[in-house]
Structure 1
Amino acid sequence: MRTVLIWENLDRPRDIVVDPVGFMYWTDWGANPKIERAGMDASSRVVIISSNLTWPNGLAIDYQTERLYWADAGMKTIEFGNFDGSNRQVLIGTQLPHPFGLTLHEDKIYWTDWQSKSIQSADKMTGLGRSTLAENLENLMDIHMFHRHRTTQSPCLVNNGGCSHLCLLAPAPKGSSCACPTGINLQTDGKTCTPLMTTDGLAVDSVGRKIYWTDTGTNRIEVANLNGSMRKVLIWRNLDSPRAIALYHEMYMYWTDWGEHAKLERAGLDGSDRVVLISNNLGWPNGLAVDKAGSQLLWADAHTERIEASDLNGLNRRTLVSPVQHPYGLTLLGPHIYWTDWQSRSIQRADKTSGANIITVRSNLPGLMDIQAVDRVNLDGSEMETVVSQGLKTTDGLAVDWVARNMYWTDTGRNTIEVARLDGSARKVLVNNSLDEPRAIAVFPSKFLFWTDWGHIAKIERAHLDGSDRKVLINTDLGWPNGLTLDYDTRIFWVDAHLDRIESSDLSGQLRQILVSPVSHPFALTQQDRWIYWTDWQTKSVQRVDKYNGRNKETVLANVEGLMDIIVVSPNRQTTNHCGVNNGGCTHLCFAKTNSFVCACPDEPDDRPCSTSCTDKIGGAEGCLQNNVISAPHEGLHISYVIGGALTVLAILILIAVYIIYHKKSKFADPGVSNLTYSNPSYRTSTQEVKIETAQKPPIYNQLRYKKEGVGEGSYTKEKIRIVEGVCLLSGEELYWEDLKQLKVCRGSGLHACMRTDTVSLQASSASLDDTETEQLLQGDQSECSSINTAMATPQRHSAHPDTGWAPNRKPSTESEV
């Protein structure tokens, strides 16, 4: 039997001692260190010492002198005082490396020290006569002295103080009080608790939203709605010791009974059509599971030491695994069965059809009872599967980047923040230092990752989605920052369960303001439209307020037990990032940044080669933004190498361009021939060699101009052209050229397309040429058009080419001449 006495205004409670007269004392080394006292029934609580404390650890009571002793690892002292905190004195001061546990016996005080790894003693009155009793002891924690003469009288020793369940000592004049285990209430007589349920088996109908359970104390099978309402007894006759229960949602419930006549039964979900399926060769049928896909029933028997199976009607009975030492809980996941074993204290697994390939999943787990699989499901409850099951201790916060399809979580047991793909693959630790108690986590898919830490120094932090550029946003005036949510437009919101308020700031931790205060015990929160929603442990409700001013507070849902997290899923909270298409071209993990993204590899390699660079071979032309790929921290080339290489390539391209311009001027310029000029804006192209079929003429880009010497400026021909391949002037009034960008052949007079394939409309102006102005612009005969073929010429598809307009009537200087 277990009950909670005190849960409010506790930060870091550490040691606790009790005085048989009815008081208990404890230390709290949180943000406001203190030593408190209360009755052993939680009454008359009071802070007795709150000054000159840093890390108050061990406590001890001297019953003879009625003194309270404590060790402070921060002050490096052992002190004592009266039970009410008065007459405080230092026994041993500033000479102790790191005292932790503390106890007393007769005239000696004993303590453990973390740093010296020893157990020491001294005189309890003077602190003199120090000696080391043991040393070189790893992982020293608390220390206690037990002695046969340390006994006392208690009113709870006689008939349990008249209490039906828990008898607790209390200060005079009360002496004692009765209490009940968590989950049941004390009746009006102050002595008796409501009848205790002995629930053994539990099953949930996720479709009908009902919960079914077996009660071995009352020998009943009951059902209720998920919120506990509409409770009803379904079966109560001919039950001896009902244990496991499982549902076949279409029509039946199954249960085991390990009473004097063990059996396995079936009935409708309303308790009707009850039938005994198996009643022979059963001992202690414990775990039970229904394999819907395989249309079979599976159960574990701790007496016969077997795991068996049958058809859903009890026929075709067969043994899957034998022997098993003491199986208890049983469940199904994918192609395997999992079961708990009391004797080996382990979780084991085997194939569900053959019982082969038995392995131990986890061991050294005392007190194993039932087992269930922790999975992910669709919002409609379909397609359940396990995502991550190994290397976890105390996972607390969870956030999903639904655009890049990554999930992030905090593990307060391992003090890490990790990431993986939504299927659990490509797992990677992002943050593993300077974390104390990481809790809530929120993701801004196009920018940042935010999380709260309610450790010794509470704080709210931010980093890029790959864990880089980590920054503490807020670390002052925080208690227990629990829930966290983002308003993508402007702000972050969080709840503080210690300071009992909801606050917000901008995305950089500035412009901080209190939205709601006080609130009872807020835990999680989320945002939708103009509302902030949060869960409250104390009021057992979901509430909301206006996110702009904290007004219009209202309760959305009330009387809900065990409220934890809350999430809003809405089409209005969608965004995009570079990883949204084809994972950004990354092989494993893609992390979006403000205007780019990062490829990264998991901590443990899988069967796929990993690259921290994005290539067309990996991502394809649509999902691979090569110029935005940056190596993850400590992976790939250093950024200085990348910049140096880019500058080298740029210098080479400039030299080549200068050479080509000079070469063309010297080869093709002729004062007696009309000149066709063009400008060449920068663009990305392949490094493959340009092959020319006839004369060595470079491709022409962006603008095509024709100028006849001595003709006025109004007689120019201009065409907005992306990529010109070949140009020729035929006898007559037409000038022809090829536009690779728009895939068509065009001509000048009246301008129209001769040929086109999959083209867009071409906007241009033109001027006509008369017969006397017809000249051959490029080498070759008048009736022959020279062509230039370029391999892999790939200008940037989305860059804008500048329009330089018409050249004035002057000799070209910076433009190439043909």
Structure 2
Amino acid sequence: MPAVCSQWRLISEARKRRSRIMFSGRLAAVLYLIFWVENGRADTSTSCWMAGNQSCMDPEPYLLVGLRNVILRINLDGGGQQRLASGVGNAVLMDFHYREGRVYWVDTHTGVLSRVDLDGTHSQKLLSLGKGISGLAVDWRENSVYWSSRKTGTIRRADTDGHDVKTVLRDLTRPSSVVIDPNAGYVFWLSAGVTFSIQRSDLTGALITTVLKTPDSMLCLAADAVDRKLFWIRHGVNGLSTLGSCDYNGNGVNVINQRLSRRKSPKMSLFWDYVYVTDSASQSVMRVNRNTGEPPEKVNSKKMPSVPADVKVIHLRNQPVVETRAAFTPVCETDECVNVCSSSSGHCKCKPGFALSKHGDSCEDINECALWNHGCSLGCENVPGSYFCTCPEGYVLLADHRTCREMKPCVENGTLCEHACTHTVEGDVCVCPVGSSLHPDGRSCTGCVSVDRGGCSQVCVTLSPGRWECECQPGYQLQPDGKQCKAPGPPALMLFANMVDVRIVNVDGSDSRSLMNESKRSIMTVDYDPVQNRVYFADTERRQIESVSVDGGETEVLITDLVSPEGLAVDWINRRLYWTDRGVSSVSRSRLNGLESTVLIHDKLLQPRDVAVHPQAQRIFWTDVGFPVAVWRAGLDGEDRTVLMGSGLVSPCGITVDHNTHTLYWTDIGAGSIGSAGLDGSHRHTLTLEQVGLPFDVAVFEDTLWFTNREDNHIYHLDKRTGSDAEQLGVDSVQPASLVIVHPLIKPGADLCLHGNGGCSQLCESRLGLVRCSCHSQHVLSADGKTCLHVQSSSSSSSSSSSSSPSTGSGDGEWSDRVKNKSLNDESSPLSLSSVGEPFTEKMVSDQDECFSLSCDVNAQCVLEDGGSVCRCLIGFTGDGQLCMDIDECVTGLAECTSPQSECVNTPGGYYCHCGVGFNTDGRHCIDVDECRLELHRCDVNAVCVNTLGGYECRCRVGSTGTGFSCSAVF
């Protein structure tokens, strides 16, 4: 080691006689790599420099910090601050080129890319990148600059002089934090789609793959080009910011939950064992050990004048140059080919549309549009590995995807085309919007921008014009057909207002039971809260809003003195209740406990009927059956009100939101139809009228719509896109009105830990509609999945016994001991976890945790036991957990249908006792419906109704004669 250090002393003395930047950028780079490759690796850890050991620390690393219109150079210990550049803008993104000795930055407000030498000289504006820039990275090997744009959904590149601009990736979902490793041949970026994820591509824009998905917001990304690891920061659980890492393939995930505040747009840079992070709360740069998760420390002792916009550690280690083998060298066995390796020659080769790079180990895109053999009649646009044809304004692309024709009105068949029609010499031809393809029927279109959304159940992702793929929302599973999304876990249930009560039933209509202890009601609307498992409903006869447990029992009156409450919706995230009162023409809001009731909207309303809420979109929607009829939209506070649909409606009634596709569905009982549209009123579509009768209300889950039909007082379900396959449910009901589906995934974003800490005795995490409990150090989770047991010696057993009881152990609706004096309905300050112990490390980041890796059957659930996680079949199924078969309770004699009027009907995972007309069921028995008392009969006004078993009789009064349904006076 002394010999190594003496070499670095000579370098240090030489640098005093030369330009510091030029020397470190060339000679020091060569010497540094020599020592790096040899066994005698120099001590270049950050502790060496910070300890002041000048003999072993050349070249010295330092920080560049973007700070309120300037870029500062700062030592790793926070000292030696120097201004490198000024006039850079208040919001900058930076990266550097060590061998060139330059730093590049973009002012995100103006979109201008600039550069300056690392000694502060030769400042130069290079290129206007446009606004919406969300990431900047330098390819120090090919001398290129990459940038991402949220606004355009692209990643582009140019050379370091600002020339030769190319689009590398397009049609991305809000890309940001772009990162380059030219040695590995990869570009990485964050995607803020329906699921936050880390995406990867080669440097040509081909071979796109998802590295990692997470249900939480990912804030920034960095890469260690030496260890080939990715590091990221995301919003963690309970206010913690999470530092995570994985390899370039998404494996070896390690996550540390740091006790850090939620930062606004943090940026980070790596160097050895530390991550340097900008902190908006303290206006400083923090240093965090990326391996141990030790408490962070400030680099700068004093608060900076403003929030640091970006930070970079300048050192050769962050931009290593790895020499590649010649193109003729067999490299298949070394796994150095980025794309495809030829097994016959041992050389790297490329897929069609790509050519081998000059280094021989990666593939570069071929620009087919420049070769003039592409076949496009007018315009051509190149994409990685391929190309597509385009047409100028006023022209349309025909079904061959190559020929452009001038848009001309059709003579005869224009009304037969789904999108548009143009007249050609061959006749009238249907055409589709850009990004869609003409269906084989020659009339309809398919694609992400078409009505069928490319056939996707939830999310349609455009790959290129005419090419797309389907994805699912977090928690859902894409089916083998590549289009449908199914929800794993417990089966869904249905809640519906039955006019006389509220009932819960399986979605196939089986196992219906009432939540009420009494059935003398007039209930038209119902909704539920997944956090507290409470059902909310309005009774129009008693003119009040009440709630009841989803398990049934006594009801709680929340709001009184209403006139005609007919619509109701629960905001499960912001903990609010919305309702319409048709009697006073208003839309109102309160807390879920009924307090702070206020009228949001009153003017310009006539007869508001139903209301729905979309908490993530910060919007409420309601129907108005007054004149003129309309479907309305407003903010959660009632502001920004607008008419979404004001034409083509007769009597709009029920309304709901599909949170997976961000689609509105409403019923029109006057027109006998169900309609759908985007949240902005676009892409309006009406289901076929013959299928739905007189629809009163509608609910949606997966690919199915359920609706109540006032024509025959039954519940039906059908396909949500086509309106086909309508089928009546065999559910016992009186007059079904409003209905909702109950499932952990149907109301995304619910924080189940708010109420009673989710039932967990210590740490609670709410994920995808389910609660996951965990424990502090020196505790283990018991078999019930909620209680934490202290790992203790016999001498301390008595002192820790209290720590093993869950906070909701009483089960009587009280909160944990810390807040047991607080009312259940007092939501002003939700349960805080600020008193939990030290940060803990978990080994997963996405919803693919230990349970998901077991591949449990769809009719099974993962259970945490002392020996680990196991698959258990759900009740009503039998098997080993990987394969679960339905038990036929009707055949095996397990069913308890005891009434003579009941019939046992087997269903997946259960059964139900079907009762005939004139009976209701409590799940086992058939109970006669007293049509006379409930005034459900059709007796004449001059007749007396007499209840019978399963029916009723109408008897004309004395002095009248007739059938009872029609009585006339006897003269």
Normalising by structure 1, report the TM-score: 0.26
Using CA pairs under 8 Å that are at least 6 residues apart, name the structure with larger relative contact order, 1 or 2.
Answer: 2
Question: Which of structures 1 and 2 has the bigger CA Rg?
Answer: 1
